[in-house]
Structure 1
Amino acid sequence: MDLAVLWAFIIAFAVIAYVILDGFDLGTGILFPLLGRHENRDTAMNTVAPIWDGNETWLVLGGGGLFAVFPLAYAIIMPAIYAPLIAMLLALIFRGVAFEFRFKTVRGRWMWDVSFFVGSIVAAFSQGIALGTLVQGIDIEGRAYAGGWFDWMTPFSLMTGVAVVVGYALLGATWLVMKTEGELHDIARRYAWISAIGTMVLIGVVSLWMPFMEDEFYLRWFTFPQIFYVAPVPILVALATFSLFQSLATGKEIRPFLSALAIFVLSFAGLGITFYPDIIPPHVTIWEAAAPDSSLMFLLVGASVLIPLILAYTAYSYWVFRGKVREGEGYHH
């Protein structure tokens, strides 16, 4: 059994679980100023209040797992994206505080509304920049990061940052379509249309830009016979996109959210295809970055207990708080 590859899948799973779960609650924050009356904002916040902090478990698992399992990758990637990462963590702290304090004050509510919105945007933008930096390649000399402080700031990474913000807004809007009713539901549906169009345009631009970043990427997506192996991903993305627009047009409640999640998962799969077997393209493979097998085995024992537990309590909390959230009801009252 190849432990390094198994762990690469576990960490990839943690990352995509984080992206889709924290994506919609960051998205709810990104849409916050556009939701009209403050009662609508209360309701929007109540849709994510019971579950938002559980969603961030996956971030800890992904980051901690990378540190323990792929120490070399951690040591090279971290210095390359320190600035966006610190910005993301500070933004997540601001959001967390805003969640608790917003319901405790009337006079200062606007301040926490702003913190919640800015925290959400900065966190999403920073994640996009970190992703863009990894895709465009990191300068390595020997076994260490060799780039400068601002290597993460390029047109490509700033654009992936914008793409993630718009994509999260789509997840947030479709989540609100599913979880709310009345005026807020209609506002959310309108923004779901706008963000869906924006997301698809940006996915298109990033996907077409990416193969020209590294020769390796280009060969993988645009040469025969590889193109037949990778073709299912864009075809499935097109189907998910069709499902998203069609379900928004016909007034479906749940399908827009599931379609948006499918688009995210498939885009992530596309990234995986582009990277594999490298963990830092184009220099460091999964096996070069991995810790010794004995460590991987030891950590796997812990993960095989913890991950099912996290999945179980996550599923349970979503089940308990299922259904629509009505105005004036919710977790905080």
Structure 2
Amino acid sequence: MDLSHLDLPLIWSVLIAIAIMMYVLLDGMDLGIGMLAALAGSDDERNLMTATVEPVWDGNETWLVLGGGGLFAAFPLAYSILMPAFYLPVFFMLMALIFRGVAFEFRHKAVRQPTRLFWNGAFYTGSFIAALSQGLILGGFVQGVTVEGRAFAGGPFDWLTPFSLMVGFAVVAGYVLLGACWLVLKTEAELQAKARRWAALALIGVAIGFAAISLATLSIDPRVTMRWGFSMTHFEFGSLLPLGLIPLSGLALTLWLARDLLIGAGKAPDWRPSLLAAGIFLSGYLGLAVSLFPWLVPFAFTVEQTAAHDNALGFLLVGAVVMLPVILGYTAYVYAVFWGKVKPGDGYGHA
């Protein structure tokens, strides 16, 4: 297969971006439900909430492995710089995901009340720490890392800044929104009504967080503002107008979702809040891509500069062409098989 005419670094950057976005939407929903489980009114209600993701939560994390593994294989220089920069939040994220995964299984097996409380707490806390850590990593990535030569030269806490904390809590709110909208789709009656209220509150946090982050991102580096077509001295309407459709679409989707959540059950399809929430995330993701591309290590190395050799990228692409349809097909199949409302008695909590 002749791949010499393809821009392999660009293709791989798009593939990794898609994998990360799939992880955010799918496992973000899982993590959101994990955090919302702390608000459940009873163990039965909590079991019903977790039953909505029991068939899919393991598969959702596949996308994290694909994104991280793809970065290591396709962009080894970027991986060697970014990993040392984010060792601590990555460690916290992985430990939280482990505890959350174990707690997902063990909380149903606990017989004694103290043990059940411990594993429920591990489930909530692991979900929150994993979500917050991912936001801190994103915030630290956007603000850039200190590089000397071809290596990370900063300190172990460079990622911990007011900007990264703002991004971290915005991601937490966003995951809660995804989880609550999924519960609107998958549940009925009282729990669905609660999910609508949770989603409405989370949407307020997401709207405030996304607006603040968008403005703060523009101040990080002059090249970001220039990409959007303006600076302190001039505007380029030819660049600003088409790119402005991205935040405007995010605003429109936010207003539409707020309307659907507030008008109550039966007046809008239950599937639409999840779709609208995903669209809001996608608009923010596209805005971030516009701001940072082609930097893969902001603002030190581009996609081209950090990529592996073309022969390696070509070999990896052949494998990706085979595996990606399998992963997508499996994901679609599982969601299709378990489509529909969950009922009391579904899930681990009820034998």
Tell me the SS of whatever aligns to 1:31. Answer: helix
Shift of 1:37: 1.2
For 1:316, give the aligned amino acid: Y
Return structure 1 stretches of 4+ with deviation > 6 angstroms.
none
Q: Counterpart of 2:263?
A: 250
**Displacement of 1:320:** 0.7
CA deviations over 1:100-119 (Å, ceiling 9, x no partner): 11111232221111011000
Cα separation, 2, equivalents of 1:86 and 1:53: 20
2-side partners of 1:259 and 1:82: how far apart? 34
- The 5 Å alignment of 1:1-333 reads 1-107=6-112, 108-223=115-230, 224=236, 225-251=238-264, 252=268, 253-330=270-347, 333=351
Q: Distance in 2 between matches of 1:98 and 1:149?
A: 29
Distance in 2, matches of 1:47 and 1:98, equals 16
Deviation at 1:138, TM superposition (A): 0.5
Q: Which runs of 5+ in 1 are unaligned?
A: none
TM-score, length of structure 1 as denominator length: 0.98
Q: Aligned letter for 1:232?
A: L
Structure 2: where are the runs of 5+ without partners? Answer: 1-5, 231-235
Worse-matched range after superposition: 135-144 or 104-113: 104-113
Contact 2:97–2:130 at 8 Å: present in 1 too? yes
Partner SS state of residue 52, structure 2: helix
> 2:233 — aligned with what?
none
Identity of aligned pairs, percent?
51
Partner Cα separation in structure 2 for residue 162 and residue 42 of structure 1:
26
Alpha carbons 1:166, 1:198 under 8 Å: kept: yes
Q: Is the 8 A contact 2:47 2:348 kept in 1?
A: no
Q: How far 1:222 sits from its partner (Å)?
A: 4.6
C-alpha displacement of 1:30:
1.1
Q: Contact (CA 8 Å) 1:51, 1:318: kept in 2 or not?
A: yes
- Cα distance between partner residues in 1 of 2:135 and 2:225: 21
CA deviation after TM superposition for structure 1 residue 229, in Å:
3.2
Instruction: Report which stretch shifted further, 259-268 or 235-244.
Output: 235-244
Count of paired positions:
333
Aligned mates of 1:229, 1:147 — CA distance in 2: 37
Q: TM-score, normalised by structure 2?
A: 0.93
Maintained 8 Å contact 2:136/2:167: yes
One-letter amino acid of the structure 2 residue matched with residue 74 of structure 1: Y
Mapped to 2, the partners of 1:7 and 1:197 lie a distance apart of: 35
Q: Contact 2:108/2:348 (CA < 8 Å) preserved in 1?
A: no
Please say if residues 240 and 259 of structure 1, whose CA atoms lie closer than 8 Å, have aligned partners that are also in contact.
yes
Q: Alpha carbon RMSD of aligned pairs, Å?
A: 1.0
CA distance in 1, matches of 2:219, 2:139: 13
Deviation at 1:193, TM superposition (A): 0.7
1:201-238 Cα distance to aligned partner (Å, 9 max, x none):
11011011111011111212251132123111011101
